Amino acid sequence: MNDMTPTREQREARLEGMGCKRKRVEDIRFTQGKGNYVDDVKLPGMLHGDFVRSPHAHARIKSINTEKALKVPGVLAVLTAETLKTVNLAWMPTLAGDVQMVLADGKVLFQNQEVAFVVATDRYAADDGIGAVEVEYEALPPLIDPFTAMDADAPMLREDLAGKTEGAHGPRKHHNHIFEWTVGDRELTDLAFDKADVTIKEMISYHRTHPSPLETCQCVCSFDKIKGELTIWGTFQAPHVIRTVVALISKIPEHKIHVIAPDIGGGFGNKVGAYPGYICAAVATIVTGKPVKWVEDRMENLTTTSFARDYHMTTEIAATKEGKVTGLRVHVLADHGAFDACADPSKWPAGFMNIVTGSYDFPVAHLAVDGVYTNKAPGGVAYRCSFRVTEAAYCIERGMDILAQKLGMDPAELRLKNFIKAEQFPYHSALGWEYDSGDYHTAMKKGMETIDYAGLRREQAEKREAFKRGETREIMGVGVSFFTEIVGAGPSKNCDILGIAMFDSCEIRLHPTGSGIARVGTKSQGQGHETTWAQIIATEIGIPADDIMVEEGNTDTAPYGLGTYGSRSTPVAGAAIALAARKIRAKAQMIAAYLLEVHEGDLEWDVDGFRVKGLPEKFKSMKDICWAAYNSVPPGMEPGLEAVSYYDPPNMTYPFGAYFCVMDIDVDTGVYKIRRFYALDDCGTRINPMIIEGQVHGGLTEAFAIAMGQEIRYDATGNVLGGSFMDFFIPTAVETPHWETDHTVTPSPHHPIGAKGVGESPNVGGVPAFSNAVNDAFSFLGSTHIQMPHDFWRNWEAAKRLGVTG
């Protein structure tokens, strides 16, 4: 070795592997406006489709007259449910076992529902065509309040299900009932409540909101009549699932369907489901023989595509007078809108809501969820937690605060007292999960020390006294939230979508000169997979991350995968990537042994190649081995260096975190100021700390939006009130607080690289932190629970209700 030989550290740094704050490679094109999004797909002769939508929330359709529309210059076709019936596509299956109208069939069930699809030479002509379609409606009584959905005299929404007493998830109790789902031991839980010293009960609602990604949902469909092939470019978080759904409902053989998800401008769960626009564009290209583009506008996106939450959770906790929790009982009324179009794994009608015991050692618990139909848009999947973990975390984190208040205990102290202890992992929760790993006490204490929790409480006590003396009009709240996430759906034993197990996949192919391509079954929408996936490979096989190209989103080239949502990419695909890389390394080891004329067992891995044990100068780098793989492999070995891995995770991963929010609220105006927000996340092994930080910043900003103002509201007749950015709160840099981030590292014991997901965590933990801060601020005035979102007006209303302002 001479002086020019790089040190081990230098070789490691050159790889930019796991743990490196590698800059996002995709940002080179994104920041220069050189991304390639669906709307950038422009094909010769391409037509444009757009929808006639219902102004009513609930109405019968008496007639649709398309004659005038068809005379509008540029309009080529108008599809209605009747047209779609000729190809058996007026309805489509949802991922939740329900069916959904593609175009209104006989009646409409929510405002802005798709009624007809106008296809024209350009978007403007399509719009003129929409104006010329004549639809005659007969208004029906709307059902907006989910609490009245199962009243005896409630209007029947889903006439297609009339008389059906069995739904996709068991018996239906009423014509607007979708399912009842129960978990846990009812009897033992009731007993715990009978014996409890202290109990609390509160209706905690997580309102309806919407992720509203920068880019709306869209697609371009192009049918090649000669080859009988359908190509779909679309904003799909799960391209392979879309291909399978299209194959099942169109009867086009799956190998003749090409689904391509190009760059995506944010997904946030909004782009998991299948929407009528996709089906209509596909039918339209087959009918017209021309490519057809469908692009939603902002209002269409906000009012009709996958909303989030709308869970009304009656929460009860039983405890001893010393503050040890002894039982949890939760009933959820789930408002699903007109169709059950959630995208949970098949066996989980309410997602992973049974993580509602949170980070606490509840000996017994019981959860019951009733899903109901209302005259609102379908969905329920979205917004940085597709599987209802956010609802669960909000429920338990609000509940613990309410219990602390009743016990006269500090909320952080109550949590510390009830945490699952580090030595209890793997921990079996009362509602059936096996938490893989955690160290809650360490995380919580680190957070409390960093923000000087005790000092904040002292300050708050002083401020409260000053408020009572009339010296200030400001009240101070400290919001505590300690969440446990559950991500990585999921193990084939209990997770499937449409019968397909929720594995994920990776295929790595190394080229002779020592670079390569990795194709993965996931699909980044901004998370930075092109950067992080290459980092895993770099560490595993010693090829610099810059020399690995990552490709996702093309069903012809990527191995089958279930896509990106529910923070599943790192737990599932991340593992597939590591294992595919290890297969390559195993073959590389055989080649190296052959080249160095030693036994495989005599070699050891050293950063970027193999070294003969005890003979450090005998070394073959991965680059050398790549070349050899194409010309001098051991006799009998196949040439080439590539591997595929399909990974079926043995368990979910359970990231967690401790969040604190310090807030001051002026009682006379309701105006709040967020003084401090501290977020400690534990996502196990950290692949790219900078990307993690970005994920946390983004998720916290969204949590802030939800907790402090964002809402999709409906009036009594079913008009959407949050349908544009005039009424729907999107925080800008001006409103967004400063985020302090921190971490601990508790690797997942079953994941090949120990990583857990992180993308969803900040939203899961963030919302309760904000809401608890507001509630904590008001608590000394006798309030137990104030409903989100906590905008200025509602804060002022709360102050008024509590008699501290006029």
Q: How far is the CB of 760 from ligand PCD (least distance, A)?
A: 5
Distance CA 258, CA 271 (A): 18
Q: How far is the CB of 648 from ligand PCD (least distance, A)?
A: 17
- Is residue 209 within 8 Å of residue 266, measured between CB atoms? no
Which of the stretches 99-107, 690-698, 711-719, 736-744 binds ligand PCD when contact is defined by CB under 6 A? Answer: 690-698
771 binds, among ligand PCD, Cu ion, none (CB under 5 to 8 A by kind): none
Residue with Cβ nearer ligand PCD (717 or 736): 736
Applying CB under 6 A, among 285, 346, 564, 621 the residue interacting with ligand PCD is 564
Q: Would you state the structure tokens that stand for residue 491, as one six-digit string? A: 């193990």
Distance CA 502, CA 491 (A): 7
Q: How far is the CB of 434 from ligand PCD (least distance, A)?
A: 20
What SS3 class is residue 500?
strand
Distance CA 46, CA 564 (A): 29
Q: How far is the CB of 686 from ligand PCD (least distance, A)?
A: 5
Applying CB under 6 A, among 66, 222, 375, 386 the residue interacting with ligand PCD is 386
Phi and psi angles of residue 11, each rounded to the nearest 5 degrees, phi first? -65, -40
Beta-carbon contacts of residue 93 (< 8 Å; ≥ 6 apart): 99, 100, 245, 248, 249
Count of residues touching ligand PCD (by CB under 6 A): 41
- Is residue 80 within 8 Å of residue 114, measured between CB atoms? no
- Is residue 359 within 8 Å of residue 422, measured between CB atoms? no
What SS3 class is residue 646?
strand
Q: How far is the CB of 267 from ligand PCD (least distance, A)?
A: 4
Which long-range contacts does 792-800 make (Cβ < 8 Å, 24+ apart)? 792/669, 792/670, 792/671, 792/672, 793/670, 794/670, 795/665, 795/667, 795/670, 795/671, 795/672, 796/667, 796/668, 796/669, 796/670, 797/670, 798/670, 799/665, 799/667, 799/668, 799/670
Distance CA 18, CA 542 (A): 11
Distance CA 450, CA 577 (A): 36
701 binds, among ligand PCD, Cu ion, none (CB under 5 to 8 A by kind): none
Query: Position of tokens 């014996």?
Result: 195
Span 256-275, contacts to ligand PCD by CB under 6 A: 266-269, 272
Q: Would you state the structure tokens that stand for residue 356, as one six-digit string? A: 């509602």
Residue with Cβ nearer ligand PCD (29 or 613): 29
Q: Other C-beta atoms within 10 Å of 632: how many?
A: 11
- C-alpha of 144 from chain center: 26
Residue nearest to ligand PCD (CB): 269
Q: Does the active-site annotation cover 385? A: yes
Applying CB under 6 A, among 50, 335, 608, 760 the residue interacting with ligand PCD is 760
Which positions from 480 to 519 touch ligand PCD by CB under 6 A, shown as an x/- string? ----------------------------------------
Q: Which of 219, 385, 495, 506 is labelled catalytic?
A: 385
Query: If binding is defined by CB under 6 A, does position 684 make contact with ligand PCD?
Result: yes
Span 422-481, contacts to ligand PCD by CB under 6 A: none
Q: How far is the CB of 428 from ligand PCD (least distance, A)?
A: 24
Query: If binding is defined by CB under 6 A, does position 240 make contact with ligand PCD?
Result: no
What is residue 684's DSSP assignment?
Answer: B
Q: How far is the CB of 626 from ligand PCD (least distance, A)?
A: 25
Residue with Cβ nearer ligand PCD (266 or 363): 266
Q: Which of 12, 530, 702, 760 is labelled catalytic?
A: 760
What SS3 class is residue 53?
strand
Count of residues touching Cu ion (by CB under 5 A): 5
Residue with Cβ nearer ligand PCD (548 or 758): 758
Q: Does the active-site annotation cover 100? A: no
- Is residue 399 within 8 Å of residue 202, measured between CB atoms? yes
* Cis previous bond, 789, omega within 30: yes
Q: How far is the CB of 796 from Cu ion (least distance, A)?
A: 33
Which of the stretches 492-500, 510-518, 527-535, 598-606 binds ligand PCD when contact is defined by CB under 6 A? Answer: 527-535
Applying CB under 6 A, among 358, 514, 722, 757 the residue interacting with ligand PCD is 757
- Within 471-573, where are the H helices? 529-541
Residue with Cβ nearer ligand PCD (109 or 341): 341
Which of 68, 158, 33 shows the shortest CA–CA distance to 108?
158
Query: If binding is defined by CB under 5 A, does position 262 make contact with Cu ion?
Result: no
Distance CA 714, CA 727 (A): 12
The number of C-alpha atoms within 13 Å of 256 and in the hemisphere containing its C-beta is 14
Which of 558, 566, 568, 646 shows the shortest CA–CA distance to 261?
558
- Is residue 146 within 8 Å of residue 335, measured between CB atoms? yes
Applying CB under 6 A, among 566, 609, 649, 789 the residue interacting with ligand PCD is 566
Distance CA 522, CA 501 (A): 14
Query: If binding is defined by CB under 5 A, does position 385 make contact with Cu ion?
Result: yes
Residue with Cβ nearer ligand PCD (363 or 694): 694
Which of 745, 748, 573, 750 shows the shortest CA–CA distance to 647?
573
Which of the stretches 475-483, 561-569, 609-617, 622-630 binds Cu ion when contact is defined by CB under 5 A? Answer: 561-569
Applying CB under 6 A, among 527, 555, 589, 746 the residue interacting with ligand PCD is 527
- Within 408-528, where are the H helices? 411-418, 440-450, 453-468
Q: Which of 384, 388, 415, 585 is labelled catalytic?
A: 384
Put residue 262 in one of left, alpha, beta given phi > 0 → left and psi -120 to 50 → alpha.
beta
- Is residue 551 within 8 Å of residue 558, measured between CB atoms? yes
Residue with Cβ nearer ligand PCD (47 or 274): 274
Q: How far is the CB of 335 from ligand PCD (least distance, A)?
A: 18
389 binds, among ligand PCD, Cu ion, none (CB under 5 to 8 A by kind): Cu ion
Applying CB under 6 A, among 125, 430, 691, 799 the residue interacting with ligand PCD is 691
Residue with Cβ nearer ligand PCD (142 or 684): 684
383 binds, among Cu ion, ligand PCD, none (CB under 5 to 8 A by kind): ligand PCD
Q: Does the active-site annotation cover 760? A: yes
Query: If binding is defined by CB under 6 A, does position 568 make contact with ligand PCD?
Result: yes
Q: How far is the CB of 90 from ligand PCD (least distance, A)?
A: 28
Length of the chain: 806
Q: Does the active-site annotation cover 661? A: no
Applying CB under 6 A, among 315, 326, 405, 525 the residue interacting with ligand PCD is 525
Distance CA 565, CA 424 (A): 29
Query: If binding is defined by CB under 6 A, does position 653 make contact with ligand PCD?
Result: no
Which positions from 563 to 602 touch Cu ion by CB under 5 A, shown as an x/- string? ---x------------------------------------
Query: If binding is defined by CB under 5 A, does position 389 make contact with Cu ion?
Result: yes
Which of the stretches 27-35, 221-229, 525-533, 622-630 binds ligand PCD when contact is defined by CB under 6 A? Answer: 525-533
Query: If binding is defined by CB under 6 A, does position 779 make contact with ligand PCD?
Result: no
Amino acid (1-letter code) at residue 396: I
Query: If binding is defined by CB under 5 A, does position 52 make contact with Cu ion?
Result: no
Residue with Cβ nearer Cu ion (711 or 760): 760
Q: Which of 113, 237, 460, 710 is labelled catalytic?
A: 237
Query: If binding is defined by CB under 6 A, does position 526 make contact with ligand PCD?
Result: yes
Burial call 461-475: b when 16+ CB within 10 Å, e when fewer: eebbeebeeeebebb
Q: Which residues bind ligand PCD (CB under 6 A)?
A: 213, 237, 266-269, 272, 382-386, 525-529, 532, 564-570, 683-688, 691-692, 695, 698, 755-760
Q: Which residues bind Cu ion (CB under 5 A)?
A: 385, 387, 389, 566, 760
Residues marked active site are found at 237, 384-385, 760
